[in-house]
Amino acid sequence: MSKERAQKIKLILFDVDGVMTDGTIFLFPAPAGAKLIDQRQEELSAKGGYAIHSDQVMEAKGFNAHDGAGMSLAKLGGLKLGIITKRMSQTVALRARDLNLDIVHQGIADKGKCFREILEKENLKAEEVAYVGDDLIDLPIMRRCGLAIAARNSREEVKDESHFVTDHDGGKGACRDAIEYILRAQGSLDRCIEEYIHDRSPHTPGKVSATNR
């Protein structure tokens, strides 16, 4: 059943803390003179988003390189990618640009409303979107999207309402698991892997079959 759902997916949305990261939030002293708060952060915080409101402290997160490679595979598979997170962080903005994500929403307290707006803007049906989450705030989307995926470290309530649970924890390959699950169901994973390798090393021989080893 979940594989049938995965075959319809055109867009994958991810939570950040606990999914793209292991949920740890690092707070460091900011360099003197740094300006870490902008007007948009103030506006989103007033609507329920969350950011560190200090020019003396900066927030950092750790991301997994395996997940980054997975995002590249997803792009090769023709999938769109995006994030929806309640927190606001320059670290997340930098990572989103690094991964060339199609959709980036930070400071979102009402994820269900944001999901509806994304469907309208992208002209997609709910069943064409997968969402990867780990905590209660993710359930409004997971209950409506076509494929609800829980990171292995998710709260039990979230796992109970998911169609698929990843083999790895958030920040340790959960995003890659979700992407590969969808690409495999769509029959494009092997092709995407070979294209990924060829793009980075054009003269590398193709995959060796078991019979030719």
The CATH H-level superfamily of 2-23+62-202 is HAD superfamily/HAD-like (3.40.50.1000)
Highest mean pLDDT among 35-44, 83-92, 165-174: 165-174
Instruction: Please tell me the predicted confidence (pLDDT) of residue 200.
Output: 86
Rounded Cα gap, residues 84 and 104, in angstroms: 6
99 neighbors 71 (Cβ within 8 angstroms):
yes
**106 close to 85: Cβ distance less than 8 angstroms:** yes
Q: Which of 13-17, 34-38, 76-80, 188-192 has the lowest mean pLDDT?
A: 34-38
Distance CA 21, CA 89 (A): 13
pTM of the model: 0.86
Amino acid 21 reads T
DSSP string, 113-144: HHHHHHHHHHT--GGGEEEEE-SGGGHHHHTT
What are the extents of the domains in the chain?
Answer: 2-23+62-202
pLDDT tops 50 at residue 122 = yes
